[in-house]
Structure 1
């Protein structure tokens, strides 16, 4: 632990550095009204903080900037966070409280969070393995053209047209729909596929008309719903263009590529899933060299104590944590309550 003087100087240095991104020297700090110390005294304290690993000098006599360890000290022990106002919370709820299915709600939450923080926003989508199958239906377009319709628990719908090799009657279609709904209604997608495969294997239908194509299409749509998606939604990537830390176009390209490939991000989000509450990953803690100089702030979202996924933001380590951290926390809280509804 640092004594009061060291904490005061370090906190003031962080305030200046977060504001303009320039190395902070002892002369600059000593002139602050709240410091009231000589330049020599400040210089000695900064030298000690550098030896402790909280600061480093990018160039000789150019002042000092925080290290990852320094950011960690600042975030964990020196910052106080103010809860967003009730008016602000109500405004966010209204902006998200629209008639959206689960995936669209998560996408809108990601866009909203990137706009609030000025960072790139990331949302880890819930695994579809636990999504429920709500209804199976078959609509006759003609005697041999059938529309297969599957409705899922988040109000999402998948459909596909099937061309049969022989005519089928409407009562036969209704019988098949009734059978599948009886067998699979309310089951997770994985369980529904297992039940469907078992029904086919045991020939439970015992009818000599063209069920096989319809059953195969039903299974294909279940499989598509399970797999045809990326686990992360990324919004506001262009926000990073506003920060001098990403002025190097090659660095920005590497970060964009890492977003697209989801390098290291899923591992960090998995860590966030393991424990409740908000997490701040700084620099090397992000686990991939491409994110050096970045910070990732994450928060799980849940429904009735069941954690569904994680949302967060990523940007330069030199970010306004006092503003960003409460916004991530509040958005996660609102998202959890809306998903519950």
Structure 2
């Protein structure tokens, strides 16, 4: 986009005024700014040029102008100056993770931190559960036929599940099954564990009695349920969107919330973000569906030991302060990545 100096100055000031109060900006208001220093007539001429370039438009019958999606895109790509985070904000992010112990708790905390810091809806895509590594498996008798299956994943992520057996199991039988599973499967991803269980079924059938095979099947069911997370991402702060006039329409919000719950539209976007490097800003139609008109989504991947495992970001109005939002999303991802490394 080719700006001359005057066009860029006026466009930058129009964006600043619109981002601050969300109202159409008139040529008279721009002309009154000390840094503009030209007449209202000159401003009107420049505004007409910007409108022809597709960067601004007049909503309804208003005399003022607001940015188009293209205008937001040009602003983000060529004019935006990202503000570095001050130490207080960084400390607030770190403190938000303090009580989290497991991987899921860390990811849930990241979502809460982002919604609080930005005043928008936030989401964090969960890592693929099939890639989680089995560290230990154990069985605890709770009664004659009631059994607690304990999975330890990625060091600190402990999953418990109570199951009912058709007949009572002795401590020695439980220990034998646990020893077998720990010997053959510890250190492997849950996907590999499931594959190996299938491949070794003949050996299991030969070497274990019916009860022990039932215990093995129960463990397999627990592993299977762990790999099938109900929701593919954490989402926090949806009601924050009520605070923005352009999104506060009941039908608009209802459609947005349904999109969050149905996952499909958002997952397509998050998958795209997984392939990109660094912070991505999706504006309006770039978000992949008309539901997100007047919205922007800011995302960035997070990793464990250099391997990208998920994406986090915020959903809000296109009229967001990108210079503040982008570094908050970026820093939260960096801190989450460092904590997940220690949690692995």
Judge which range, 327-336 or 133-142, deviates more. 133-142
Of 140, 157, 160, the match for 1:158:
160
- CA–CA distance in 2 between the matches of 1:145 and 1:247? 50
* 1:134 counterpart SS class: strand
Q: Partners in 2 of 1:263 and 1:12 — Cα distance?
A: 37
Cα distance change on mapping 1:289 and 1:178 into 2, 3 Å: same
The residue number in structure 1 matching 2:273 is 272
The unaligned stretches of length 5 or more in structure 1 are none
User: Partner residue of 1:130?
Assistant: 131
Q: 1:148 is matched with which residue?
A: 149
Give 1:108 shift. 1.0
Structure 1: how far apart are the matches of 2:147 and 2:248?
Answer: 55
Distance 1:22 1:219 in 2: 58
2:176 match: 175
Give the secondary structure class of the aligned counterpart of 1:18.
Answer: helix
Give the distance between the partners of 2:62 and 2:246, measured in 1 at CA: 21
Give the TM-score, by structure 2 length: 0.95
CA distance in 2, matches of 1:186, 1:325: 37
CA deviation vs aligned residue, 1:74-96 (integer Å, no higher than 9, x gap): 11111111211234313321221
Query: CA offset at residue 190 of structure 1?
Result: 1.1
Equivalent residue, structure 1, for 2:254: 253
Provide the C-alpha distance between the structure 2 equivalents of 1:109 and 1:216, rounded to a whole number of angstroms: 35
Please list the CA deviations of residues 174-198 of structure 1 after superposition, one character each: whole Å capped at 9, or x if unmatched.
Answer: 1111111111111111111122222
Instruction: Provide, for residues 263-306 of structure 1, a one-character-per-residue CA deviation record: whole Å limited to 9, x for no partner.
Output: 41111111111121000000010010000110000011112210
Aligned to 2:221: 220
What is the match of residue 86 of structure 1? 87
Does the CA contact (< 8 Å) of 1:132 and 1:189 recur in 2? Answer: yes
CA distance in 2, matches of 1:5, 1:174: 78
Mapped to 2, the partners of 1:333 and 1:144 lie a distance apart of 46
CA distance in structure 1 between the aligned counterparts of 2:149 and 2:230, rounded to whole angstroms: 21
- The answer to whether the Cα contact below 8 Å between 2:134 and 2:190 also exists between their aligned partners in 1 is yes
TM-score by length of structure 1 reads 0.95
2:101 alignment counterpart: 100
> Could you tell me which residue of structure 2 aligns to residue 208 of structure 1?
209
CA contact (8 A) 1:122 1:235 kept: yes
Per the TM alignment, residue 102 of structure 1 is displaced from its structure 2 partner at its CA by 0.5
Q: Which residue of 2 aligns with 1:34?
A: 35
Name the counterpart of 2:322: 321
Whether contact under 8 Å (1:269, 1:310) holds in the other structure is yes
Question: What secondary structure is seen at the aligned counterpart in 1 of 2:277?
Answer: coil
User: Contact between 1:263 and 1:288, CA under 8 Å: does it hold in 2?
Assistant: no
Measure the CA separation in 2 of the matches of 1:61 and 1:229: 46
1:163-220 deviations in Å (ceiling 9; x for gaps) = 233x443222211111111111111111111222223223365243511211111110
1:147, 1:160 within 8 Å by CA — same for their partners in 2?
A: yes
Give distance in 2, aligned partners of 1:21 and 1:302: 36
Question: Are the equivalent residues in 1 in contact too, given 2:165–2:215 (CA < 8 A)?
Answer: no
Equivalences for residues 178-193 of structure 1 within 5 A: 178-193=179-194
The 2-side partners of 1:206 and 1:247 are apart by 63
| Long gaps (5+) in structure 2 | none
Using the alignment, how far apart are the partners of 1:334 and 1:176 within structure 2?
39
2:117 maps to 116
